[in-house]
Copies of this chain bind each other. A is one copy, B any other.
Amino acid sequence: MTNEALPTLAILGGTGDLGTGLARRWAQAGYRVIIGSRTLDKAEAAVADLRSVMAQRGVADISVEAMDNQGAAAVADIVTLTVPFSHQVSTLEAVAPALQGKILIDVTVPLVPPRVARVQLPEGGSAGQIAQELLGDEVAVVSAFQNVAAAHLQEGGGVDCDVLVCGNKKEARAEVIKLVEAAGLRGFHAGMINNAAAAEALTSVLITINKQYNCHAGIRITGLDSHG
């Protein structure tokens, strides 16, 4: 059942495993979720697929809709971007007017194929900084979810991975941490948007580890009770 007191969420480029994983978890937590894509067809296919998986799990009363990216960005209160790095700028340019005054959750990881296990941060420092620079101060860019394996989000249960949440506005980070928790993970205020570089770079390290262990690695923050 959708809780109307909660913000409406859009996930742009949301047809991939990460986007639909977030969509499932947020919809199940009562949020109205809109999956956006460059073409409405793709978004509709993703929503149909998601509904069928949820029905198999016995979950029917969720609010998930399909729109194109512009429509989704316009309707939502908080917009999440889950596109490949090569599409980050063009997607943001297309929806920038609709994002003014809103929070953009940037999940972009600046991987440069084919060497995705190698850290290759962009000239602007990080994908998060690129987004903030492009969108201007009226959009609160918050980077998050770079280190969470899509495969784990697709599963139903808890995820053994923490989320580093970076952005220049503390209130915006706090809103995103609520969404991290709604998705079943633990989120941390991890500093200004510059610090997105840490989470983005870490993804290539986790890919390196995944290859060695044939796994989907993540990270946990430790030592929180080690006062001093």
Contact = CB atoms under 8 A, between A and B. Distances in A.
Interface of A: 117-121, 125-126, 149, 151-152, 160-161, 164, 166, 188-192, 194-195, 197-199, 201-202, 204-206, 208-209, 212-228
Which 6 pairs from chain A and chain B are nearest by CB?
A198-B201, A191-B208, A160-B222, A220-B220, A218-B222, A198-B202
**Main DSSP-derived SS at the A contact region:** mixed
A226 B222 contact: no
A130 to B, nearest CB: 14
29 contacts: A118-B191, A118-B194, A119-B125, A119-B191, A119-B194, A120-B194, A149-B223, A151-B228, A152-B226, A161-B222, A164-B205, A189-B209, A190-B209, A191-B205, A195-B201, A195-B205, A195-B208, A197-B201, A199-B205, A201-B201, A209-B224, A213-B224, A214-B228, A215-B225, A218-B221, A218-B222, A219-B221, A220-B220, A220-B222
Given A161-B222, A197-B201, A220-B222, 18 more contacts: A118-B191, A118-B195, A119-B126, A121-B125, A121-B197, A152-B226, A160-B222, A166-B205, A188-B209, A191-B208, A198-B198, A198-B201, A201-B201, A206-B221, A214-B227, A218-B221, A219-B221, A220-B220
